[in-house]
Structure 1
Amino acid sequence: MSLPLAPGLAGTRILLGISAGIAAYKSAHLARLLKKSGFEVRVVMTEGAQAFITPLTLQALTGEPVRTSLLDPEAEAGMGHIELAKWADVILIAPATADLMARLAHGHADDLLTTLCLATEARCLMAPAMNQAMWRHPATLANADRLVELGWILLGPDAGDQACGDVGLGRMLEPETILAQLLDELEPARDEALRVMPVHRDLVGRRVVITAGPTREALDPVRYLSNHSSGKMGYALAAACAERGASVTLVSGPVTLSTPPGVERIEVISAAEMLTAVESRMPCDLFIGCAAVADYRAAAISEHKLKKTEDASGLTLELVRNPDIVATIAARPDRPFTVGFAAETQALETHAGSKLERKRLDLVVANDVSREGVGFGGDDNAATLLWRERERTRRHTLPRQPKTALANAIVDHIADRMR
C-alpha cells in the first residue's frame, strides 16, 4: 500500500522513532510504506528496540544511517541530536511502549529519542503498543492524557490478539492504518466529506461498552427471528468514542462491517449471548445499548428443520421474552452512565420517554425508523435525545445527517452529561 501525497507534502521529512516492543517488527514495513508514499525518512531506535529488529534492516529500507545513541562522538561533534530535531517536520514513534510514553509525559530526556522529542518543534505522533492490562492501567491512561495535553497525537492502540496470548486493547495499529491516519492528520482537506468535526479527547481514561447490530434467535437449524439493523450506528458510536480516547468494547451481532481502529470487538448471535458478553466487561464508565435486540425468542429450538404441514392451518410458534440488556445494566449496583436507543414507527417521544422512565436510563436516543432515508440500513439518520433534569424530561433534536456525524454529536452530548 502507498498513498499519493497532496501537493506540498511530497518530501516531508519524517523521523521514525522505534522503541522496545515486539511490535517493532512492523516498523520495517511502516518505514517502507512511508518511503513509497514519497516521504523522506530517517530512523532513531532506542537501545531496547535493537533486541527486536536490527538497525541494518531499517537502514536498507530507508537508505539513511540509523541513529541509536545519544552519546555518539562522531554525530555529536556537530550536535547531531539537535540537528535531527531541527531536520524533522514530523516525529512518528511506532511502537510507543508504556515506558516511553511515561518518560515523554514527564519530560525525561535520557536517550536519543526522548531528547529529540523535547528539542523539536515538529509535529509529534505516536502509535502505542503494549499488553492490554498495561494500557488499561490508570498510570498509562493518565500518561496518554498528559501527552495529548502536550500536543501529541495518539494513533490507536488497536484491539485483538497480542503476542503474550492476551486479547484486548493495546496492540499497535497495522502499518497501513498508521499511514492512512498520518495522512489524515497532515492533510486537513483529505476526505473532507468524511471529516465531520474536530476530535475532542474528552473520554481518555473512560471504559465504554457499546452494543450494535441485530440479534438472531434460532427457530431451528436453518431459520431465525431477527430484524433489519445494519449495525452502522453502533459502529459509528464506537469509532467516535475510540477517537476521543476511550477504551471501547463493541459487542456486535451479525453484521458485515469492519471493526473501527482501536476498538475491541466481541461477536455474538443471540440476545442471551449479548448480555453475557456485556456483563463480562462490567464495570465500565459508559454503556450504550445501540443494538436492535430481539424482544422474543423461541420457547424451544427445534432440533431439525421445521417442515410444512400437509393442511393449510399454518404454524404456531411459542415465544418467550428475551432479557432486557439495557435495563439489566441500568439496574446494577455499579451501574455505568447508561444510554438506550428507541427505534419507533409512531409516537416517537411518548414511547422513548416511557423507556427512559421504566428502565431508569440516563439518556435515550430516539429515532423514527419509518421515515424514508433514515434508520435501518441507511447511511443517514436523525435523532431526538431525551433525558431527565430537575424533575423534567428534556429534549434535544439532531437533524438528518451521516451516521458518522450523528455519532459524534451524540457522544458530544453524552460527554457533557457525564461531566
Structure 2
Amino acid sequence: MLAGKKVILGVSGSIAAYKSALIVRGLIRAGAQVRVLMTPAATEFISPLTLATLSKHEVITSVHSEAGWNNHVELGLWADVYLIAPTTATTLAKLAHGICDSALVAVYLSARCPVFFAPAMDVDMWLHPATRANVATLQSYGNYLIDVDSGELASGLNGQGRLAEPERILQTLTDHFSPGDLTGSRILITAGPTHEDLDPVRYLGNRSTGKMGIALAEAAAARGAEVELILGPTELSTSVPGVTTTNVRSALEMHAAAMARWSDCTAGILSAAVADYRPAEVAKEKIKKSDGALQLRLVRNPDIAAELGASKRPDQLLVGFALETENGVENARGKLERKQLDFIVLNSPRTPGAGFGHDTNQIQLVDRNMVTDFELKSKRAVAEDILDRLVAVKQTR
C-alpha cells in the first residue's frame, strides 16, 4: 500500500527521535519516497546524516536554509502524507496554534495532504489539560492522531506517553492507503484455538495464538469490511474500528457463534484451529492421579467449515485453512471439495518462521485449478495476500 507513496517525516526533539530511523527504514523498504524534516532540537537526539543516509535525500533542519526556504511550500504540495513522529508537547502546541518557527511547522501549514501525528512525552505532560486541548485542536483540523503507547518512560515512570512503535505507525499509514475494495462486505472470521475442558482445571487445546486471524480481521476492516471476529481463548485482542469480537472458549461455542452470524455475511475466513474432538464427559471435580493409565473417551466436534459450506449461498464466499505436515496440496484439495470451499490457505508447522506463535507465515493458496506459492512474510502481509485473492474471486462472480 505504501509503494510509490510520497511521505514527509517530521521529527521533533524527543528522546524517542531515535525511532525515526526505524520509521524511515520501514518506509523505504515498503517502496515509499521519503523526505525528512527535523526541528533544531531533534538534531540533538539523532544525526541528520543518519536520516539523510536512510532516506537518500538531504534532511531539512531550518526553514532559513536554502533547501528549507525553497522547498517548504513545494514539499507541502508534493507529499501524499505528512507524518510527524515523534511529536513533542512543544511541537504539538506550535502545530495547534500555527507558530511557524521551524521547517517542520512551515511545511505543516503548507501541506494539502493528510497529516498524522504521533506524540511522545512523559505521562504527566501527556495528561495535562493543555496537551489534551492541543491534541483535540489538531484533530478538529482533520489531522490524524496515532495514539501513544503505555510502558516505561525515559523519566523512569510507567504510564502513557511512549511513542507508538514504528511497526504500528507504519501499519497506520498502510491502512490509510488501503484500497477500500471490501466496502459493503460483511466478513466472518474465526481465529485462535479452542479449549475443550476435561475437568475444572485441565483442558485439551493447541498452540494457536490467534495472530493470523486477528491480522485478517484488521486488514479486512482497513479495506472497508465489517468484520465479525469469533475469537477463541487467547491473550491477544483487537480494538480497531469495524471489527466486532465475540469471545468463545470451546468448539461448540465457536460453532454456535459462526452459525448464528453466517447468514448475514458475504464471506467467511476460517483461520481458527478448532479442536476436532472433545471429551465425552467433563468431570465435575479435578481428575485425581492414579497408578494406572488414564483413558479418555472423545467425541467429534461439529465441522464448522463443512456446515457453513453446506449452507453457503451463491453470493457467499468461504475460505478455509489447512495446517498439514505431509501431502499438503492433496489433503487441502480434498478438504476444498468436501467442505465446498472457494480456496484454502495451506501452511506447514515445519516451515521455519511459519505456523503457530510466529509473527510471520508462509502460505500456499490452493483452489481447484492452481496452487500459488508465497514467500515468508509478516502475518499482516499474508492477510493482505489472502484478501487480494478473496477480492479477485468475488470479482469473477
TM-score by length of 2: 0.60
Report if aligned partners of 1:196, 1:404 keep a CA contact under 8 Å in 2. no
The alpha-carbon distance between structure 1 residues 222 and 35, as it changes in their structure 2 partners (threshold 3 A), is same
Identical aligned pairs, as a percentage?
A: 38
Q: TM-score, normalised by structure 1?
A: 0.57
What is the CA-CA distance between 1:34 and the residue it aligns to? 7.2
Q: How does 1:7-406 map to 2 (within 5 A)?
A: 7-8=36-37, 36=89, 38-39=91-92, 89=108, 122-124=112-114, 176=148, 191=170, 199-262=178-241, 263-282=243-262, 283-310=264-291, 312=292, 314-332=293-311, 334=313, 336-388=316-368, 393-406=369-382
> Quick check: 2:180–2:223 contact (8 Å CA) kept in 1?
yes
Instruction: Specify every segment of 5 or more residues in structure 2 that has no aligned partner in the other structure, as ranges.
Output: 1-13, 21-35, 40-62, 64-71, 73-85, 99-105, 117-141, 150-160
Q: Is the 8 A contact 2:364 2:374 kept in 1?
A: yes
Distance 1:281 1:252 in 2: 14
Partners of 2:342 and 2:353 in 1: CA distance? 28
> Following the alignment from structure 1 to structure 2, what is the Cα–Cα distance between the partners of residues 205 and 355?
29
Which portions of structure 1, spanning 4 or more consecutive aligned residues, are displaced by more than 4 angstroms? 2-7, 9-12, 87-90, 173-177, 187-192, 194-198
Residues of 1 paired with 2:248 and 2:191: CA distance? 10
User: Is the aligned partner of 1:409 residue 2:348?
Assistant: no
SS class of match (1:281): helix
Alignment CA distance shift 1:41-1:277 (3 Å): farther
- Counterpart contact for 2:175–2:222, Cα < 8 Å: no
CA–CA distance in structure 1, aligned partners of residues 143 and 183 of structure 2: 11
Pair 402,296 (structure 1): closer, same or farther in 2 beyond 3 Å = same
| AA at the equivalent of 1:398 | F
Task: Classify 1:154/1:309 alpha carbon distance in 2 versus 1 (closer, same or farther; 3 Å).
Answer: farther
C-alpha spacing 1:37/1:358, structure 2 compared with 1 (3 Å): farther
Contact persistence 1:238–1:260 (CA under 8 A): no
Once the two structures are superposed, residues 256-310 of structure 1 have per-residue CA deviations (whole angstroms, 9 ceiling, x without a partner) of 2231522221111001111222233231111100000000011111111111223
SS of alignment partner, residue 37 of structure 2 = coil
Query: 1:59-104 CA deviation, whole Å, 9 max, x = no partner?
Result: xxx568xxxxxxxxxxxxxxxxxxxxxx9958xxxxxxxxxxxxxx
Aligned mates of 2:273, 2:196 — CA distance in 1: 12
Report the RMSD for the aligned CA atoms in angstroms: 3.9
Q: Which runs of 5+ in 1 are unaligned?
A: 13-32, 43-61, 65-86, 91-119, 127-152, 156-172
Whole-Å separation in 2 of the counterparts to 1:397 and 1:266? 32
For 2:341 and 2:352, the matched residues in 1 are separated by: 28
SS in 2 for 1:272: helix
How far 1:387 moved relative to its partner?
A: 1.5
CA distance in 2, matches of 1:188, 1:291: 25
